[in-house]
Chain A
Amino acid sequence: MTAMLQYDFMRRAFVAGLLLALIIPCVGVVVVLKRLSLMGDALSHSSLAGVAAGLIMGINPILGAGAACVAAALSIEVIRHKIPRYAEISIAIVLSAGIGLAGVLSGHVRGAANFNSFLFGSIVAISDFELGLVVGVSLAVLLVFIALYRELFFIALDERAARIAGVPVAAVNFIFTILTAVTVSVAARTVGALIVSSMMVTPVACAMQLAGSYKRTVIFSAVFAVVFTLVGLTLAYYVRLKPGATIVLTGVLCLLLIIAGKKIWAAVGSRRRKERNS
């Protein structure tokens, strides 16, 4: 571990990775509980269109990704409200449009390597500007998430009841949409556009298996994401794997182990009860 941290690029990777591990599940908890788990996918694919546009126009691709994500997230919200009974359609539409646009624009990008680095991320190659962006966005997302904790909980639980209790639902949803878009666009550069959605959902899925309350679900999600990042980055360094993909696979493996562990625990408990009764 110490040997790995001698390198500046690995220290940066850990700082960026751990900050993102804290904020992505905060956004992820609300996204999952609002039954919009694929929103991360739609946004990250749309971010690729922004990356391609940024590279073509000669502006920073992360800024392009951010703009595309915000536009995509707001489009999802608009369509979701137009077709409330089939909210998931909004995600499918934006996802398709994002992929289509990214496909068309990527054909005009010079230097495909830079574009491809956004597909699986390049957390060990982030610049000072990008690290600064991760720090700034992480602080902003954490602060807003804490400030709107009660509102986001109530909206995710029951949007109508929240509105009747006086929660400014439209304003909170708008802020949350921007927050999600900014998080996804920054994370796309580090863990990769194809993987960020999984980072948003997997730690939350693990936490939901074990937590006994909403508060614990949020805390456990962040703890899981931090552990996945630490394990994933370390494995990636020593076994020479792609960091973003390794982080996500660590998470998926952990989820499978938790599910299997719960099944075994339940079976053992049931057997003990039967033995006691007989």
Chain B
Amino acid sequence: MKAMKGLPVIQADDLSFRRAGEPVFARVSFSVYAGDFVAILGANGAGKSTLLSLVLGELTPETGTVRLFNREARRFRDWGQIGFLAQDAPAEAAAFPATAEEIVRANLYARTGWGRAPRAADRAGAGAALEAVGMAEYGRRLIGHLSGGQRQRVMLARALAGEPALLLLDEPTAGVDEASVTGLFQLLTRRNRESGLTVVMVTHDAERAAACASRVLCLENGSLLELDKTQLEEELRHRHRHPAGGFL
């Protein structure tokens, strides 16, 4: 599935959100266009994951609107267009008695819906997704028998199985080894450039985000700022000055 390049996939206008009475961010607006690779940076607790939840229509903003593929996020139902990978998904699946293939195929639901078994082509899509993340030979293995990095790749394959137009990732590199993180960024960059997959990734990895993403947004002190090249370099320097408990 491919959205037309340059059309807005996410449109957030004037978003404000409070958690337990405390403002998380206020009057935030941004757009993501088809074919973008957007990285969202920010300190812990800045509201990056909350922003994704608002985009997915899981939360209601205090003010403002979010539109997904030109539909209000809360009313959006075309789930086949979206792939999602949560931060804790690989760890949570570790104890589940299912094979990598079963886990990837679960997400075909977004394409088929209730009462329709996946067609051969859909199942082939799931196989292709496992192949794309280099896990084809592990399809019949129990997820719990795989390493953390491998589990993360299976979860990414699950998000990609329905061939979405938009992929949302919430800190997908947390708790994963360096080689797997590099592989993940390479894969996402390739999918973004070759198939036009729109990627929105919440991450702490500013260096890789700067290298791979076409746009970098930074959520800080309740506001969202799109960083240009110079600002991004400043952010990277800033981060290097505060390696322990610093901003990013």
Mark A151-166 against chain B: 1 for CB-CB distance below 8 A, else 0: 1011011101111111
Residues in A neighbouring B162, C-beta threshold 8 A = 165
A-B contact count (CB 8 A): 72
Please determine whether B114 and A165 come into contact, CB atoms closer than 8 angstroms.
Answer: no
| Chain B residue nearest in CB terms to A217 | B97
Is A212 positioned at the interface, with any CB of B under 8 Å from its CB?
Answer: yes
Residues in A neighbouring B43, C-beta threshold 8 A = none
Is B89 positioned at the interface, with any CB of A under 8 Å from its CB?
Answer: yes
Contacts A161-B107, A166-B77; A214 near B102 (Cβ below 8 A): yes
Is B30 positioned at the interface, with any CB of A under 8 Å from its CB?
Answer: no
Please determine whether A166 and B99 come into contact, CB atoms closer than 8 angstroms.
Answer: no
Main SS of the interface on chain A?
Answer: helix
Contacts A164-B82, A164-B84; A158 near B93 (Cβ below 8 A): yes
Please determine whether B98 and A153 come into contact, CB atoms closer than 8 angstroms.
Answer: yes
Residues in B neighbouring A158, C-beta threshold 8 A = 86, 89, 92-93, 106
Is A56 positioned at the interface, with any CB of B under 8 Å from its CB?
Answer: no
Complex alpha-carbon distance, A208 and B162, angstroms: 29
Residues in B neighbouring A165, C-beta threshold 8 A = 79, 106-107, 109-110, 162
Is A150 positioned at the interface, with any CB of B under 8 Å from its CB?
Answer: yes
Q: Known A-B contacts: A154-B109, A162-B109. Give 14 more (CB < 8 A).
A: A150-B106, A150-B109, A154-B107, A157-B98, A157-B106, A158-B89, A160-B58, A161-B84, A161-B86, A166-B80, A166-B109, A166-B113, A167-B109, A214-B97
Is B245 positioned at the interface, with any CB of A under 8 Å from its CB?
Answer: no
Is A132 positioned at the interface, with any CB of B under 8 Å from its CB?
Answer: no
Report 29 cross-chain contacts, Cβ distance below 8 Å, ordered by A residue. A33-B97, A150-B106, A151-B109, A151-B114, A153-B102, A154-B109, A157-B93, A157-B103, A158-B106, A161-B84, A161-B86, A162-B106, A162-B109, A164-B79, A165-B107, A165-B109, A166-B80, A166-B110, A167-B109, A211-B97, A212-B99, A212-B140, A213-B99, A213-B142, A214-B96, A214-B97, A214-B99, A215-B102, A217-B97
Contacts A158-B89, A161-B89; A213 near B102 (Cβ below 8 A): yes
Is A168 positioned at the interface, with any CB of B under 8 Å from its CB?
Answer: yes
Q: Interface of B with A (CB < 8 Å)? A: 56, 58, 77, 79-80, 82, 84, 86, 89, 92-93, 96-99, 102-103, 106-107, 109-110, 113-115, 140, 142, 158, 162
Is A1 positioned at the interface, with any CB of B under 8 Å from its CB?
Answer: no
Complex alpha-carbon distance, A259 and B93, angstroms: 22
| Chain B residue nearest in CB terms to A160 | B86
Is A147 positioned at the interface, with any CB of B under 8 Å from its CB?
Answer: yes
Complex alpha-carbon distance, A147 and B115, angstroms: 7
Please determine whether A154 and B98 come into contact, CB atoms closer than 8 angstroms.
Answer: no
Please determine whether A208 and B93 come into contact, CB atoms closer than 8 angstroms.
Answer: no
- A154 touches which of B77, B99, B106, B142 (Cβ 8 Å): B106
Please determine whether B96 and A157 come into contact, CB atoms closer than 8 angstroms.
Answer: yes
Residues in B neighbouring A161, C-beta threshold 8 A = 84, 86, 89, 106-107, 158
Residues in B neighbouring A168, C-beta threshold 8 A = 114
Complex alpha-carbon distance, A164 and B107, angstroms: 9
Residues in B neighbouring A154, C-beta threshold 8 A = 106-107, 109
A201 to chain B, nearest CB (A): 14
B152 to chain A, nearest CB (A): 14
Residues in A neighbouring B89, C-beta threshold 8 A = 158, 161
Residues in A neighbouring B102, C-beta threshold 8 A = 153, 213-215
